[in-house]
Amino acid sequence: MTARRKIHDEKPKTKAPDMSDSTLSPTEHSGPYSALEKMTPREIVAAMNQLDRSVADAVGQAGEALAALVEICTQKVASGGRVFYLGAGTSGRLGVVDASEIPPTFGVEDVFIGLIAGGDSAIRQAVEGAEDDAQGGIQDLEAAGAGPGDVVVGIAASGRTPYVLGAVNWARAKGWATGCITCHPQGALAAAAQWPVVVDTGAEFLTGSTRLKAGTAQKLVLNTLSTGVMIGCGHVKGNKMVDMKLANIKLLERAARMVIESTGCTEAQARAALEAHGSVRTAISNLNFS
């Protein structure tokens, strides 16, 4: 009878990652703090705050690249195009959040489109294997009607997510404008996109948890990108959101203040103009000519 092999002999052998390997994202390296489970709540708060302070500086160092991405996106949107964000997990959720804020803030629909690996259900709950589908992002772009007048922006801290990388490579091969937001300077995504924004946030407080520093950096970049595009496309006057939707009492009050500041009218006149026209921009225009 043949002897039965030991269980541990039947397990697949894996090679430990080389921490100096340039293909490994900096977010996967070990950070300056260890034995986190031994830290007090106050120590955790202080340590995380200390690391978080570096994020804004890292975004600032990517300023030229981010400005270039803002410029090409502004050109495309001004010509009737759209900006498609693609990401998985935290990166995908951040893209969806930013895209969803554009209609109420700037009064425009279907300009920024957030696509996440696994579909809308992945916004709340992880979808197994969705980010590993290199065809998934392509299929989502096709289903959303993306075209040559649009910009495809891949979001992936690691710079290697197949869902994102497959879509960006596909779009660029078709001659479309492509950008990315990543935290891996040597990652495949940074090399694939025409307008890459690389924010090297380094190691995370919790190794590999890119919802932390990398996620914060991505949110800052997305804030700047979409706001810059909307300013460039004329949806801001001064520093005011003159095209915002008047969706609740707080926004109506803000709108009235904008109208009063811009025209010198009374509060009653401002509210009457907003009720009549449903738009800060139009209310101001009509009161200035009345």
Which amino acids are annotated catalytic?
Answer: 101, 131
Burial of 20 (0-12, 13-18, 19+ CB in 10 A): exposed
Strands (E), the chain: 83-87, 112-116, 151-155, 177-182, 195-198
The pairing of strands 177-182 and 112-116 is unpaired
DSSP letter at 129 equals T
Give 155's Cβ-side CA count (13 Å radius).
Answer: 34
DSSP letter at 204 equals -
Q: Is the dihedral of CA 266, 248, 100, 223 positive or negative?
A: positive
Count of beta carbons in the 10 Å neighbourhood of residue 202: 16
Instruction: Provide DSSP, 82-108.
Output: -EEEEESHHHHHHHHHHHHHHHHHHS-
**Dist. CA 239–CA 135, nearest whole Å:** 41
First to last CA, the chain: 101
